Chain A
Amino acid sequence: MSFDVRKIREDFPILAQMQRGKPLVFLDSGASAQKPRQVIGAMMRCMESAYANVHRGAYYLSETATEAYEASRRAVATFLNAARAEEIVFTANSTMAINLVAHCYGRGILKPGQAVVTSEMEHHANMVPWQMLRDAHGIELRYVRVTDAGELDLEDLAAKLKDGKVGLVAVTHMSNVLGTVTPAAQIARMAHEAGAKVLFDGSQAAVHRKVDVQALDADFYVFTGHKLYGPTGIGVLYAKHALLEAMPPFLGGGDMIATVSLAGSTWAAPPARFEAGTPAIVEAIGLHAAIDYVTAIGLPAIEAHERALVDHAMAVLSQVEGLSLLGRAQDRGGVFAFSLDNAHAHDLSTLLDRAGIAVRAGRHCAEPLHERFGVEGGTCRASFGLYTTPEEIDFLGAALVKAREFFA
């Protein structure tokens, strides 16, 4: 199927609207992506004609909803090339999925005195849960350094794995600030050779690249629905089945139990063990539709489109006088954090907003990374989606030049 960005844009109703009297140029998909009609429609159809609680009722609607919910799980398994659908746990988002691992694997399996390795590149969702684990469970926390180019320092990773105390390496598969795509298969190999498990935060990567958890040999992989053109409120934890089998539950409640008596309870098998309470049913249906949508277009086609956008953005942004880009990784996706020499990120984003351009300003939930690169005051970030066009990037470039003149 050929990739026609004009046609794709027609699938996203919000992109046709005006913002402050100007056509919307939405360059904040890295924070949350817009939704195609296919996702919106699937969620509406579910609520209008196929909705009931799941795993509970022995009546037609509940059975229909349960089947749709489990079909979504199977679709996610196929999307990630998981060995089986039972390796997919639905969560609220990536943050909850990482907290689940920090709780169930971190407190449940790791022993005080062991170490977790994360990196300076992480957003707060893959940093704070490990700090909490460190403080509550006597786990040592180590941070892999980031090079000046914005890549993970693999020599530093090797050094931090050397003493054999590391039980888990938890790093991003693609930085939400630098755009850096990390060498996940190599990191997994290094972790496994040192006797550690590996978790990848795929919040950004799963949107832009074909992810194969078996080829990566990932032990845990997380992503979130709303960045993948799906709804908010649904995220995914992939974990190897043996790990899920060994882990104690996360939240207690309905659905996660095998038996309950007044004296105590026993736990259901995975994935139910980790999905207490009524789940995000409509959102799971929406996520299924989002996966079908990107799969029909084709991840390789999306990746090729975004590679072209990245090359174009590099060319356009490097022409803007006074602009500094954060990170120059060889392998990168469509995320660009930048600063202008004479304008603060917030002033800049207010100007760009006036031109109809939506970018994020601040530290993008990655405060330590901004300190690492000496931009504590924050940056602006333009992030692309499959609907982004080269013309929008040209427009951003022109607006940045005008903005610099404005503050001159």
Chain B
Amino acid sequence: MFDDLRDLYQELILDHGLKPRNFRRPEDANRHAKGDNPMCGDRMELALKLDGEVVTDLGFQGRGCAISMASASLMTETVKGKTLAQAHQLSDSFRALAMTGSCPECGAELADEMERLQPLAGVHEFPSRVKCATLAWHTLNAALDGSKEASSE
């Protein structure tokens, strides 16, 4: 009945949705932000350690659907160790990927990271679910910019 949904709910997504990585609050974090999808009740808190220009550690806690949990999990994995500029670039690229299914503008520099995020590209076919995938990245932007609240509404 739901076989064609395996494109959206790939094994990797279900795995990260069920067992999110970096589901914790780094003790020495110095940047925090909350993300909220008021319409559906998804909510997360992101904490990261910014050491100079580099995101040396980050983790999140919260609740949400499989897509939002998996996206947050994969986000923490790909952003860890990146510079501020790279993190912002990944955020922009992921938005394009989630909304259109591809990112022709994405450069070669972060190609490996974008490859890692590719399983979430299927969400672009589900307009009401795009915001589930982008919530973590909105929250990351808020944390990096020093604002406290993010919403993907």
B5 touches A350 (CB 8 A): yes
In Å, the complex CA distance between A322 and B43 comes to 24
Query: Interface with B: A128-136, A158-166, A262-270, A340-348, which one?
Result: A340-348
Chain A residues contacting B66 (CB-CB under 8 Å) are 343-344, 347, 407
- Shortest distance between the CB of A47 and any CB in chain B (Å): 32
Pick from A344, A378, A403 the residue with the most CB of B within 10 Å: A344
Which residue from B1, B41, B67 sits with its C-beta under 8 Å from A347? B67
Chain B residues contacting A361 (CB-CB under 8 Å) are 40
Which residue from A345, A370, A406 sits with its C-beta under 8 Å from B65? A345
- Shortest distance between the CB of A313 and any CB in chain B (Å): 20
Chain B residues contacting A406 (CB-CB under 8 Å) are 2, 5, 9
Q: Is A402 an interface residue (CB 8 A)?
A: yes
Chain B residues contacting A378 (CB-CB under 8 Å) are 40-41
Given A362-B39, A399-B1, CB of A377 within 8 Å of CB of B126: no
In Å, the complex CA distance between A402 and B1 comes to 7
Given A346-B65, A346-B67, A350-B129, CB of A377 within 8 Å of CB of B42: yes
A interface residues, how many (CB within 8 angstroms): 22
- Shortest distance between the CB of A365 and any CB in chain B (Å): 10
B40 touches A362 (CB 8 A): yes
Chain A residues contacting B126 (CB-CB under 8 Å) are 350
Pick from B1, B5, B129 the residue with the most CB of A within 10 Å: B1
In Å, the complex CA distance between A46 and B78 comes to 60
Which residue from A345, A354, A377 sits with its C-beta under 8 Å from B2? A354
- Shortest distance between the CB of A123 and any CB in chain B (Å): 14
For chain A, residues 147 to 189, give those with C-beta under 8 angstroms from any C-beta of chain B.
none
For chain A, residues 335 to 375, give those with C-beta under 8 angstroms from any C-beta of chain B.
343-347, 350-351, 354-355, 361-363, 367, 370
Chain A residues contacting B39 (CB-CB under 8 Å) are 362
For chain B, residues 53 to 89, give those with C-beta under 8 angstroms from any C-beta of chain A.
63-67
Which residue from B4, B14, B41 sits with its C-beta under 8 Å from A362? B41
- Shortest distance between the CB of B127 and any CB in chain A (Å): 11
In Å, the complex CA distance between A351 and B5 comes to 7
B4 touches A354 (CB 8 A): yes
Given A344-B64, A347-B67, CB of A355 within 8 Å of CB of B42: no
In Å, the complex CA distance between A403 and B39 comes to 23
Q: Is A10 an interface residue (CB 8 A)?
A: no
Which residue of A is nearest B63, CB measured? A377
In Å, the complex CA distance between A362 and B40 comes to 5
In Å, the complex CA distance between A399 and B2 comes to 9
Q: Is B50 an interface residue (CB 8 A)?
A: no
Contact digits for B8-47, partner A, Cβ 8 Å, 1 yes 0 no: 1100001000000000000000000000000111110000
Given A345-B65, A346-B67, A350-B129, CB of A363 within 8 Å of CB of B41: yes
Chain B residues contacting A193 (CB-CB under 8 Å) are none
Chain B residues contacting A402 (CB-CB under 8 Å) are 1-2
Q: Is A391 an interface residue (CB 8 A)?
A: no
Give 18 CB contacts A-B under 8 Å: A343-B66, A344-B66, A345-B40, A345-B65, A346-B132, A350-B128, A350-B129, A355-B2, A362-B40, A362-B41, A367-B41, A377-B64, A378-B41, A399-B1, A403-B2, A406-B9, A407-B9, A407-B66
Interface residues, chain A, CB within 8 Å of chain B? 343-347, 350-351, 354-355, 361-363, 367, 370, 376-378, 399, 402-403, 406-407
